[in-house]
Structure 1
Amino acid sequence: MIYKCDENKREDLLNFLYNEPSMNLFAIGDIETYGFEHFDLDVWAYVDSKDEISGVLVRYKENVMPIHGKEFEGFDTFLPLIQSLTPLYISGNEEVIAQYEEEFEDYEKKENYLAECKELAMESPLVQEVVPLNKEDISLYFDCLKEIGMMKQQTIEEITNELDRDSNAIQVIKDETGKIVSTGRIAVETKLSAMIVAVGTIESYREKGYATAITAALVNICIQKKKTACLFYSNPEAGRVYQHLGFKDTQKWIMLKSKG
């Protein structure tokens, strides 16, 4: 049986999702941030023959995330629902997405590794150069993202509001002129985990250890909050850097993107 979730199902739903807090970080974060009445979010739960939740389907904007095990009796219920939503993205762990790939042959597949860190294995000598982003420097932050080649996904107002909520959300390194040359941020948080994203350095400043220092600083912030630091990577070279810091690979995260 499948049902649309509301506040009455919050506890049961989160208990299920917190069985894998890092892998389900996005789903948990969406629910804890937006609740069940937000127009960008829909959540369905599948209750199996034992009257227990064995699968969850989350729609956040144009992204759909099926969450369940390898032997899932609700697959024939989830599949037509996902098809009816015509999502731009279908994402989740490798074991789950593998069950849907044949049904979405016109989607492009992208693989990432999900790594997590609970304790730094080494200290970066440059970590003292990492500072929180000041509101006065938001335009410089956008300049840095552009030069790195990252898309600007938020407005100045949105970044300002975010820094009001958490002054440590975005960390940067500046050169001697005050230009922001390296950056990274914490994007999604739950009570147990936090996702590090958008770590990058301007090309002419690379291979100096700046990205490593940014990542180490963000991990330290997560540890102070008693949360596991998580991140995605696809580049093996970046993966080696993260592993030296103390990150350990968990599962592959697969994203199917519509070509239409």
Structure 2
Amino acid sequence: MIYKCDENNREELLNFLYQEPIVNLFAIGDIETYGFEHFDLDVWAYVNGRAEIVGALVRYKENIMPIHGEEFEGFDTFLPLIQSLTPLYISGSEEAIVQYEAEFEAFEKEESCLAECHELKMEVPLIKQVLPLEKDDIASYLDCLKEIGMKKQQTMEEITNELDLNLNTIQIIKDETGKIISTGRIAVETKDSAMIVAVGTIENYRNEGYATAIVASLVNYCIKKNKKACLFYSDPNVGRVFQKLGFEDTKKWIMLTSNE
């Protein structure tokens, strides 16, 4: 049986999601941040014959996250619901998403490894150059993201609002002219984890250790808040750098992206 969740279901649903707190970080973070009445968020739970939650489906904006194991009895219930939501993205752990791939053949598939870090295991001298983003640098920051090639970006208004609310987790490095050349940020946090995303360096400054310094700074941010730092990577060479920093691989993550 499937039902749409509200505040009355919060405790039971979060207990289910916290069985795998790293894999379900985005879903947990969305629920803890927005609650069940926000227009950008919808959550459904699937229960078995013993009234136990064995699956969840989370919609955050155009992204759909099916959350369940390999042998999921509610697949035939989730699939038509996902199709009716016409998502641009379908993402989640490999064990869940592989069950839907054949039904979304037109979607582009991207695989990543999800890694977590409890503590830094190497010194990063360039970390001294890492700074928090200030309002005067927002335009330069957005230009940096474009130059790096990141398609999905926050708006200037959204970033300004985060700074006003003291929620800024964007870290930057500037060159000698004041141009932002490397950056990264925390996308979502739960009570015990945080996801590092949008890490990159513009082309002329790559392979100098700047992105590593950004990640190290964000890991320190997480450590100070007694949280695990998490991130995705798809390049094995990049993964080896993160492993030297102290990251350990957990599960494979799959993103299906609509071509429309």
Into which bin does the TM-score normalised by the smaller protein fall? over 0.9
Amino acid at match of 1:190: T
Structure 2 unmatched ranges of 5 or more: none
CA distance in 2, matches of 1:167, 1:70: 37
CA distance in 1, matches of 2:211, 2:108: 29
CA distance in 1, matches of 2:154, 2:168: 17
Between the two proteins, what is the percent identity of the paired residues? 76
Report the 3-state secondary structure (helix = DSSP H, G, I; strand = E; otherwise coil) of the residue aligned with 1:248: strand
Cross-structure match for 1:60 = 60
Distance apart, 1:168 and its partner CA = 5.1
Report the 3-state secondary structure (helix = DSSP H, G, I; strand = E; otherwise coil) of the residue aligned with 1:223: helix
> What's the C-alpha RMSD, in Å, of the aligned pairs?
1.4
CA distance in 2, matches of 1:90, 1:150: 19
What do the CA deviations read for 1:122-176 (whole angstroms, capped 9, x no partner)?
1201111111111111112122222222236222221122123346501111112
1:124 aligns with 2:124: yes
Distance apart, 1:77 and its partner CA = 1.3
- Alignment check: 8 A CA contact 1:69 1:96 kept: yes
CA distance in 1, matches of 2:72, 2:78: 10
Equivalent runs, 1:151-166 vs 2, <5 Å: 151=151, 153-166=153-166
Cross-structure match for 2:97 = 97
Distance apart, 1:226 and its partner CA = 0.7
CA distance in 1, matches of 2:210, 2:216: 10
Cross-structure match for 2:172 = 172
Cross-structure match for 2:140 = 140
Aligned pair count reads 260
Cross-structure match for 2:32 = 32
Cross-structure match for 1:201 = 201
Report the 3-state secondary structure (helix = DSSP H, G, I; strand = E; otherwise coil) of the residue aligned with 1:126: helix
Distance apart, 1:179 and its partner CA = 1.5
CA distance in 2, matches of 1:205, 1:160: 27
What do the CA deviations read for 1:97-121 (whole angstroms, capped 9, x no partner)?
1111122222221111111111111
- Alignment check: 8 A CA contact 1:126 1:209 kept: yes
Q: TM-score, normalised by structure 1?
A: 0.95
What do the CA deviations read for 1:231-256 (whole angstroms, capped 9, x no partner)?
11111111111111011111111111
CA distance in 2, matches of 1:123, 1:21: 28
Cross-structure match for 2:228 = 228
CA distance in 2, matches of 1:77, 1:57: 11
Q: TM-score, normalised by structure 2?
A: 0.95
Report the 3-state secondary structure (helix = DSSP H, G, I; strand = E; otherwise coil) of the residue aligned with 2:158: helix
